[in-house]
Amino acid sequence: MTRGIIRVKSQNQALSQPVSTEPPVFCGIVPPHILNRLAGSGLRVADAARRTLVADVRHRLTRSAVPWVGERHLAPPAEAEQRDDRAVYDDHDTENLPGSEVRAEGAAPTGDQSADEAYDGLGATFDFYLKVYKRWSVDGQGLPLKGTVHYGVQYDNAFWNGSQMVFGDGDGAVFGRFTSSVDVIGHELTHGVTQYTANLVYRGQSGALNESVSDVFGSMVKQYRLGQDAADADWLIGAGLFLPSVRGVALRSMKDPGTAYDDPAIGKDPQPATMSGYVDTSDDDGGVHINSGIPNRAFYLAATAIGGASWEGAGLIWYDVLTSPTLPAAATFATFGTATVHAAEKRFGRRSHEAHAVAAAWREVGVSVHT
C-alpha cells in the first residue's frame, strides 16, 4: 500500500481514487499528537506514551502488509438467527494477540471490570447496528466480535486491528482503562463497518471523514444505550478516559470541537469547528484526528436541528451514505456532505425539514454542498 503524504487545502480539492485492494489501516482512539506530547513531557507517564507510540507504529506496519479482501456478498440468515457472537480475551500485559479467552458469548461476568466492560460494549454496539440499521455485525455477515483486554504495559490506546478490538489499561495518571467508555468501543468497531463498506482512505479529508464516521456512530451507540435524544446527549467522545488530574472532559467534543481539553501535559484540543480553521499538516495522516472536528460538528448540527433520536434522523442519512456503493473511497468533505443532502432528500423528501437541516449544517461549518 502506498502511503504518500497528501495535503488538502480546501474542501473542493479532490484526492486520487484508491485502488480496491487498499487495506484498512490501524486506527487508535487516542490521537498521536496527545501521545507525542506525553512522550516528550518528562512526566512519569512519558515511558508509557513512548511504548504506546512504538506499538502503534508496529501495528500500522502490520496492517499495511495485509491485503484487503473487501466486503463479502453472502446472503445473511433470517433475522431471528442473527445473534451476537462475542469473545473477550486477556493478554496479561503482553502484546501477544489475542491472549487467553476469559468470557465467551452467554457466559457469566468474570469479575474483571475491563473484561466485563468490553463484553458489554461489544454487545451494545452489535445491538445498535442490528436493531437500528438491520446490520448483522460490522461486516453485515455476522463477523464474531472479539476483544482483548490488558494489552501491553500501561498501553495508552484502544484500537480495531481489522479483525478484533484491543484495549490498553492506560498509564494510571493521564489515562484510565479504555473499556470504560462505550462510545470508544462503538467508535473502533465502526472502523470495521467502514472497512467493509466505504473503506474511506485514511489520509487527508477522506481520513478525517473515516474518523468522524466512527465518532458519529460511537456517539449514537452511547445515546441509544442511554435512551437519549440528540438534545440530551453530551456529544463527547471518550468521556471518562482522562483521570482526575487532567483538565479535560473527553478526547473530542462533537458539539464544540476544540474545547475537550486544555491541560499542561497534553496540550489544548486542536480540533477546528469550521473550514476556516482547517489544519494543513503532514502529521497524523494529514490531520485525520484533528480535521474530523469539522464533519463531527456538521453531524451534531444536523442531528439536533432534526430533533428526536439521532439514529432515526441524521444517523439514517449518514448510514445511507456510508453504505452507498457510489461514495468514493477518497471522498472530500464536499463530496460526503453533498451525498448526505441527496440521501436526506431521497429518504425524507426534497423539501423536507431533514434535507434542509443537513444542508444548513454543512454550510455552517463552511463546507460547500450541492443541492
CB 361 within 8 A of CB 301: yes
| Sole residue written with cell 431533514 | 354
Residue 152 φ/ψ, nearest 5 degrees: 65, -175
CB 312 within 8 A of CB 303: no
β-strand partners of 104: 87
CA 56 to chain centre: 16
Determine the length of the chain: 371
d(CA 15, CA 4): 12
Query: Residues with catalytic annotation?
Result: 188, 289
β-strand partners of 88: 103, 147
d(CA 331, CA 194): 13
Q: What's the one-letter identity of residue 51?
A: R
CB 111 within 8 A of CB 119: no
> Under 8 Å CB-to-CB from 37, ≥6 apart: which residues?
265, 266, 267
The answer, yes or no, to whether the previous bond of 24 is cis (omega within 30 of 0) is: no
N-terminal to C-terminal alpha carbon distance within the chain: 35
The answer, yes or no, to whether the previous bond of 18 is cis (omega within 30 of 0) is: no
The C-alpha cell of 265 is what?
Answer: 501535559
d(CA 327, CA 331): 7
β-strand partners of 149: 90
The C-alpha cell of 171 is what?
Answer: 498509564
CB 250 within 8 A of CB 236: yes
The C-alpha cell of 309 is what?
Answer: 433520536
CB 31 within 8 A of CB 351: no
Helix, strand, coil fractions of the chain, as percent rounded to 5: 40, 10, 50
